[in-house]
Structure 1
């Protein structure tokens, strides 16, 4: 059920402390941790502690938590002293989503090309 932890979800297991992660920030509603396969000098994932499949589902069901994620992306950038950074929400496998738990990528620390991909 949406909002509830999922036994087969990697990110739900990180939230539960069952899988280690390099956590850089944590709030009541979010956890931010370093990506294990970074695509930039700063590559941090900001996830909600509640389980929703993707950013669209999260925004529809819990706009307050979606806003918390966006606030935390700024906090991550501030902590890493980034003047510029990119926030990416991949939604669906065609866009590169591989973990079916809403999450934002915070990327920075080098010039980022546009358009991406």
Structure 2
């Protein structure tokens, strides 16, 4: 166990020492979540087609919730073309709070700083 921790610390320290282009950042923004629920009630045969609560035999409902997020993160460039971005964000929407952790691989196009990002985001309900 101690050997594993030693190797992990050694690997991370050598990795961080070789990383010359690490930048910290703060991010914040607006969230908009939209959900849509649609059921064809005529096929289910639970209501009559002339029911005043159903239009055209369908139950169609769309809900939107708005919120915000704020967090800290960093960006590490491995080379001129490839980098890694990670953040830890607090998000609040739909009357719930979340901890969001996106980890994105960056591919830089030219010297402008424009990049394409792809990767997973892990979300935990708080």
Task: Please give the TM-score of this superposition, normalised by the length of structure 1.
Answer: 0.26
Normalized per residue, the structure richer in helix is: 1
Question: If you compute each CA radius of gyration, which structure gives the higher value, 1 or 2?
Answer: 2
Normalized per residue, the structure richer in strand is: 2
Task: Please give the TM-score of this superposition, normalised by the length of structure 2.
Answer: 0.25
Larger relative contact order (Cα-Cα within 8 Å, sequence gap ≥ 6)? 1
